[in-house]
Structure 1
Amino acid sequence: MDEKHKWDKVNQWEEELDYLKTILLQTELVETTKWGGPTYTCNGKNVLGIGGFKSYVGIWFFNGILLKDPHKVLVNAQEGVTKALRQWRFQSKADMDEKLILQYVQEAIANEKAGIHFKPEKKEALQSEYLQQQLAQDTNLQNAFSQFTPYKQKEFIEYIATAKQEKTKLSRFEKIKPMILAGIGLNDKYR
């Protein structure tokens, strides 16, 4: 097996990963390499990935939250952070039930073909009353701000809105005012 197409962080899961691959080869999924490991797609869309970690080898389903999971084998890797992704963890090859794995994989493929995807809820955009007041008082500043894309405007707004103290808002505004007037985005130096 080509080393760059195997995601095994501790090099102890080669037999288990090979076994999972033989199971997945029975499906119509196409193996690709993304994020340094095997990822399986259907119609160009990510369905699942496999990989080895310190204490387990696993399958992660990109839209796992939508699987029925009658055997309660799927876990959320980071509660409160991970929204749709669900993992199925194994301690050894003996833990892997081929028929059961295929049942979950076929459901994931069917969901992908039916266009059933998890839609994350959009976060409400932050607003900055302070920045709005400053823009209203200075037409040059307002005109320069309006030249930015909505994305870059949002960066400025969030930068001011996330300041907890008034003095921090003031110092942040003093920092970004010359940037706005010069047409420089808040994070342009990192792009």
Structure 2
Amino acid sequence: MSTPDSRVDAYIAKSAEFARPILEHLRAQIHAACPEAEETIKWSMPCFTVDGRILANMAAFKAHCAFGFWNREAGKDGGGDKGGEAMGQYGRITSLKDLPPKKELQAQIRQAAELAKSGVTRVREAKAPKPPAVAPEDLLTALSANPAAQATFDAFPPGKQRDYIEWITEAKQAATREKRLAQAVEWMAEGKSRNWKYEKC
């Protein structure tokens, strides 16, 4: 077994009481199935690597833990991927009962280790594109009264149009919406995007 990382010890120690046995269990199963796995901290959470490649990571939150393999192909044969429920592939882990039995979990860890060693790149699921944002009537009316703003809005890619549309339509009060609408038209008349303050020149 590789040398334990004291930062992982500290992470587990400061985690909620319910989370400690879960994290200790996951850590033990990784080293049992893949003794050469190295411990480190990445993205402020315990991470395990093999041959310099990321194998898996785990994290503790206020009410649940999360655990997942870097390559999501690992573990799919052992019950599917619950990644939509929380970070990782095992959903919200609140007790050891939420994890596969030791033998099954270790088999998944070994599979993940083989994928990492082989250099297979992480598989990312393609996200469906968002539908085009529909500009509200008050924005269309305001733009039609300001040719410069209209030209800027029409030239924007869908994402930048969406930034303005969502900023205006998410206003909870009529006064806020009117203020945002006026500001949006003013900025667009100057050729500015919604987040122009944060964009690099």
Q: Deviations over 1:11-40 (max 9, x none)?
A: 74474354134135347x775532211234
AA at the equivalent of 1:177: V
Match of 2:32 among 9, 23, 27: 23
Which of 171, 185, 189 in structure 1 is aligned with 2:193?
185
Between the aligned residues of both structures, percent identity stands at 20
Q: 2:16 corresponds to which letter in structure 1?
A: V
Change beyond 3 A, Cα 1:132–1:41: farther
Shift of 1:163: 5.0
2:58 match: 50
Inter-CA distance 175–144: structure 2 relative to 1 (3 Å threshold): same
* Corresponding position: 1:4 with 2:7: yes
Residue type of the partner of 1:159? W
Indicate the residue corresponding to 1:141 in structure 2: 149
Q: What is the distance in 2 between the residues matched to 1:114 and 1:182?
A: 44
Cα 1:121–1:173 change in 2 (3 A) is same
Per the normalisation by structure 2, the TM-score is 0.59
Structure 2: runs of 5 or more not aligned: none
- The count of residues paired between Structure 1 and Structure 2 equals 183
Query: Is the partner of 1:68 in helix, strand or coil?
Result: helix
One-letter code aligned to 2:44: G
Change in Cα spacing, 1:138 to 1:33, as seen in structure 2 (3 Å) is same
CA distance 1:163–1:44, change in 2 (3 Å): farther
Q: Quick one: distance in 2 between partners of 1:133 and 1:75?
A: 45
Question: Contact between 1:145 and 1:153, CA under 8 Å: does it hold in 2?
Answer: yes
Task: Give the AA of the match of 1:113.
Answer: V
Q: Structure 2 CA distance, aligned partners of 1:153 and 1:43?
A: 45
RMSD in angstroms over aligned alpha carbons? 4.6
Relative to structure 1, is the Cα distance of residues 120 and 77 closer, same or farther in structure 2, using a 3 angstrom cutoff?
A: closer
Tell me if 1:175 matches 2:178: no
Q: Deviations over 1:143-170 (max 9, x none)?
A: 3435656543321122234457877654
Matches within 5 A, 1:107-126: 107-108=111-112, 110=115, 113=120, 116-126=123-133
| 1:173 Cα deviation after fit | 1.0
Residue in 2 that maps onto 1:159: 167
1:100 paired with 2:71, answer: no
Match of 1:86 among 78, 90, 102: 90
Residues 68-79 of structure 1 correspond to what in structure 2 (within 5 A)?
A: 68-70=77-79, 78=85
The AA in structure 2 aligned to 1:23 is A
The runs of 5 or more residues in structure 1 that have no matched partner are none
